[in-house]
């Protein structure tokens, strides 16, 4: 199983702490059943930590005008909204919620040039709260795709998430499906698309980051 680089340090420190605590417990406490229970529990905890930072390889199979899911999770919002931060006009918003058991790596929904990348401190409302996209800790990234134009996606911290890693820098040329960052311990990602978009998912659909086609932007076929 491939691991995300954001997990290397946490996994190493977790392993060290668990080994030390188990060693001290076994040398100072001679109650066998209690030691065994603690050892099993700490092993399960360590396996969950490792599992959280998994980073499976994904193959992108998308047409030039198709948008892929940036994360694993469940589609919770599909609606037309006014986007006030960058576009300042009406956009189609598709939001994907991630539970703590989902892969938490964020992938670029489209390829192109990063033209906007900004971090905001904020609250930690539950990720499905209607105002979490505007009030929570978040990062906003806009990628200008040569076929469909600029596409925005927003990493949003939830009630549990306390750290967002964003690798996007203005001027970067990125590939669709490439590693864009990581949200630690549960959150959601919003994608903002042009109104001339056909949505390929419905509320409740499960997505696989880097693979699931979530939308197709309708454009002049001569540009594809």
Instruction: Kindly list the catalytic residues.
Output: 187
Tokens of 55: 């980073």
The total of other beta-carbon atoms located within 10 Å of residue 125's CB is 19
Q: How many Cα atoms are found within 13 Å in the side-chain-facing hemisphere of 61? A: 5
Q: What is the DSSP letter of 165?
A: E
Q: How does DSSP assign 57-121, residue by residue?
A: -------TTEEE-SSSEEEEEEEEEEETTTT-EEEEEEEEEE-TTS--EEE-SS-EEEEEEEEE-
Find the radius of gyration of the CA atoms of the chain.
20
Contact indicator for 73, 156 with CB cutoff of 8 Å: no
Closest CA to 67 of 171, 165, 220, 201: 201
Q: Are 35 and 62 in contact (CB under 8 A)?
A: no
Strands, sheet with 173-174, edge to edge from the N-terminal-most edge strand? 173-174, 112-120, 138-145, 149-157, 187-193, 89-98, 73-83, 206-207
């Amino acid at each position: 199983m491939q691991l995300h680089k954001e997990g290397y340090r946490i996994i190493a420190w977790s392993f060290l702490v668990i080994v030390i605590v188990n060693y001290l417990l076994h040398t100072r406490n001679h109650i066998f059943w209690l030691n065994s229970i603690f050892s099993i529990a700490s092993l399960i905890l360590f396996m969950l930590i490792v599992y959280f930072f998994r980073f499976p390889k994904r193959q992108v199979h998308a047409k030039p005008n198709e948008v892929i899911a940036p994360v694993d999770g469940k589609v919770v919002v599909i609606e037309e909204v006014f986007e006030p931060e960058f576009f300042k006009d009406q956009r189609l918003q598709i939001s994907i919620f991630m539970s703590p058991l989902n892969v938490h790596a964020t992938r670029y929904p489209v390829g192109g040039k990063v033209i906007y990348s900004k971090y905001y401190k904020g609250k930690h409302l539950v990720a499905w709260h209607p105002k979490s996209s505007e009030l929570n800790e978040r990062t906003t990234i806009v990628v200008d795709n040569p076929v469909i134009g600029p596409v925005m996606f927003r990493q949003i911290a939830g009630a549990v998430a306390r750290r967002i890693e964003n690798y996007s820098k203005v001027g970067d040329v990125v590939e669709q499906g490439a590693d864009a960052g990581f949200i630690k311990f549960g959150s959601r990602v919003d994608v903002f698309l042009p109104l001339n978009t056909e949505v390929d998912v419905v509320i409740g659909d499960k997505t696989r980051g880097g693979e699931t086609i979530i939308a197709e932007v309708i454009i002049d076929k001569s540009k594809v």
